Amino acid sequence: MGADVHPRNELAHWHPVLDSRTLRRAPVPVRLCGQDLVVFRGQDGTPAALDDRCAHRAMKLSCGTVEGGRLACPYHAWSYDAEGNGSAPSSPNLSFSVPSYEVQEAGGLVWLRARGGTGDLPPLEHDGYRMVCTLRRRFAAPLEPVIDNFADDEHTAAVHLAFGYDPERMHEVELTVETTDDTVTSTCVGPHKKVSPVLAPLFGIRTGDELTIDWTFHFSPLHSVFDMRWVDPGTGRERSFRDRIDVFFIPIDDDTTELVYRQMTTMRMLGEPGFQLLVRPVTSLITALEVRVDQHILANLADTSGDLSTMRLGRLDRSLGMVRQRLDRIYRQRPGRTVGADASAIDAVAAGEPEALPPVVRRSATAAPPVADVGTGVTVRRGDRPRQGAARLRRTARSV
Ligand code: FES
Ligand SMILES: [Fe+2]
């Protein structure tokens, strides 16, 4: 058997590292938690994953080929099976292996974790919902700031283009947070921002509708389930468009985080042809634009350490500490790691007292890291100005 011990705790959890359709005959390199891995399909098409480093003289196995279900190194043709057991044509009695991983395919995604890992995949299909799209995008930021962005509904007012709260009425937004040992659930309710006259009839929502954004974070595998619904404040009736997005978080390395979005809706309004020809493409495009503005924001943080103790949190940041605590304990398996923060202050934030944290401590500037490629067909660099990007995206959104 190949080696199965891995030093990174995070690798113990399932991560959707590839879309199934991108894994064909050729091996594919994957970077996860700073580790270089290679994924390939064995004899019967079942995916397998190994460290991307030949045991012989350190060639990248991802440059090799798959022959008879074995991954052959391009340098001297030593080859490996799905468990990482090696075979050397020139030294048939040599015993060697490379570390291998558990792999499974579900929901059109290839999932990977260390052998002997923990947690089950969540349900990927949901009664009453139809799939809109699956998007995979990279953010030029470490995991913690990306997680914080998804535990924050306040930014939907200032940042997002089509959906979110009315920036003029943010004081009316109400937040409740509930926790269990291994989940954090937030429910945010408030008036919706101005809805484009093109989008209003398509989605059946109106300016000033009562918007509820409900999300639950889970930590093995690391993902959050978002549910957005709109209510007519006059009649109290729920609109027919309801949006659900399951977001999976994949740390590529210490500077880059990849996200997989699986978006679904209950929308029935325009029938199947209307859904396939109109609702689905338009919703997918809007989601892609909304993701891109988040990418621009996160590429421009002054400090990516994620140190909550240097931040002056407000009343709508109440869930951040609760999410961080579970991230550290369950996902990173390092309780108390919460970056740079004074433990008692974070406990207070986790208990719902955001003012417990001290005011911002100014830190000396750090050099921006080199350019990061952040996503399929999308390049957002650290230092790209968010305003320019957002203005360009707003023009695109208006033309939708
Ligand atoms: S380096 Fe892989 S076979 Fe020699
Ligand atoms: Fe966002």
- Over 108-138, what HEC string results? CEEEEEECCCCCCCCCCCCCCCEEEEEEEEE
The verdict on residue 280 lying in a domain is yes
pLDDT, tens only, 323-353: 999 999 999 998 776 654 444 555 566 566 6
User: Do both 89 and 173 map to the same domain?
Assistant: no
pLDDT, tens only, 125-164: 888 899 999 999 999 999 999 999 999 999 999 999 999 9
User: Do both 306 and 223 map to the same domain?
Assistant: yes
Asked if residue 56 has its Cβ within 6 Å of ligand 1, the reply is yes
Compute the distance from residue 325 Cα to the ligand 1 centre, in Å.
Answer: 43
In a 3-state reduction of DSSP, which class is residue 260?
A: strand
User: Do both 235 and 377 map to the same domain?
Assistant: yes
pLDDT at 376: 42
Compute the distance from residue 53 Cα to the ligand 1 centre, in Å.
Answer: 9
User: Do both 105 and 200 map to the same domain?
Assistant: no
Query: What is the arithmetic mean of pLDDT over 213-238?
Result: 96
The verdict on residue 205 lying in a domain is yes
- Over 282-315, what HEC string results? HHHHHHHHHHHHHHHHHCCCCCCCCCHHHCCCCH
Asked if residue 80 has its Cβ within 6 Å of ligand 1, the reply is no
- What Cα–Cα distance (Å) separates residue 73 from each residue in 61, 63, 101, 144, 216? 5, 7, 18, 36, 43
User: Do both 339 and 379 map to the same domain?
Assistant: yes
User: Do both 212 and 69 map to the same domain?
Assistant: no
Compute the distance from residue 293 Cα to the ligand 2 centre, in Å.
Answer: 7
pLDDT at 360: 40
Q: What is the mean pLDDT of the chain?
A: 86
Q: How far is it, in rounded angstroms, from Cα 3 to Cα 125?
A: 34
Higher pLDDT, 36 or 362: 36
pTM (two decimals)? 0.87
Q: Which residue from 53, 63, 76, 90 has its CB within 8 A of the most atoms of ligand 1, so it is best to mutate?
A: 76
Residue with CA at minimum distance from ligand 1 atom 1: 57
Query: What is the arithmetic mean of pLDDT over 369-379?
Result: 39
Query: Which ligand has the nearest atom to the CA of 298?
Result: 2
- Does the pLDDT at position 368 exceed 80? no
Q: How far is it, in rounded angstroms, from Cα 129 to Cα 188?
A: 22
Atom of ligand 1 nearest to the CA of 77: 3
Atom of ligand 1 nearest to the CA of 78: 3
pLDDT at 309: 83
User: Do both 140 and 102 map to the same domain?
Assistant: no
Q: How far is it, in rounded angstroms, from Cα 242 to Cα 245?
A: 10
- Domain span holding position 144: 130-358+366-398
